[in-house]
């Protein structure tokens, strides 16, 4: 059973508007969440993360929100730019600061930002 779900395979947004990418998880023990961005023919690159002790983390145009009661997190990109067009992966783990902390990834959402 999928522990991390990204239910929207794709999302199209106009340049300058907000992009909202969603992610749901089933394991209430997860304590650390990350977003990765992937361009074609490249490896995923780390974007932003959030610990379960917080409900929001911001880095420039990117903000991640965590709703633990709903087991839901979202990534907001404001304003969206054409260069943001990529596949975005949500990932979750528990005990990330410990010896293992393997990440469980969602299937990804392909974001297209139109000029």
Partner 1 sequence: DAGITQSPRHKVTETGTPVTLRCHQTENHRYMYWYRQDPGHGLRLIHYSYGVKDTDKGEVSDGYSVSRSKTEDFLLTLESATSSQTSVYFCATRDVGSPLHFGNGTRLTVT
Contact residues: partner 1, CB under 8 A? 6, 34, 36, 41-46, 49, 89, 96-100, 102-103, 105-108
97 CB-near residues (< 8 Å, 6+ apart): 32
Q: Tokens 């239910």 label which residue?
A: 7
Query: In the complex with partner 1, which residue's Cβ is closer, 62 or 105?
Result: 105
Query: In the complex with partner 1, which residue's Cβ is closer, 9 or 82?
Result: 9
43 CB-near residues (< 8 Å, 6+ apart): none
Query: In the complex with partner 1, which residue's Cβ is closer, 44 or 85?
Result: 44
Minimum Å distance from CB 77 to partner 1? 18
Say if residues 14 and 114 touch (Cβ distance below 8 Å).
Answer: yes
Minimum Å distance from CB 79 to partner 1? 25
Minimum Å distance from CB 23 to partner 1? 11
Say if residues 55 and 72 touch (Cβ distance below 8 Å).
Answer: no
């Amino acid at each position: 059973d999928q522990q991390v779900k990204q239910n929207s395979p794709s999302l199209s947004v106009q340049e300058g508007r907000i992009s909202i990418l969603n992610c749901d998880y089933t394991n209430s023990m997860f304590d650390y969440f990350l977003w990765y961005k992937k361009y074609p023919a490249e490896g995923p690159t780390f974007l932003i993360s959030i610990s379960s002790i917080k409900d929001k983390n911001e880095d420039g145009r990117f903000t991640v929100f965590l709703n633990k009661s709903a087991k839901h997190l979202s990534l907001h990109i404001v304003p969206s730019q054409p260069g943001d067009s990529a596949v975005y992966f949500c990932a979750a783990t528990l005990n990330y600061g410990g010896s293992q902390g393997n990440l469980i990834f969602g299937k990804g959402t392909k974001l297209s930002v139109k000029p």
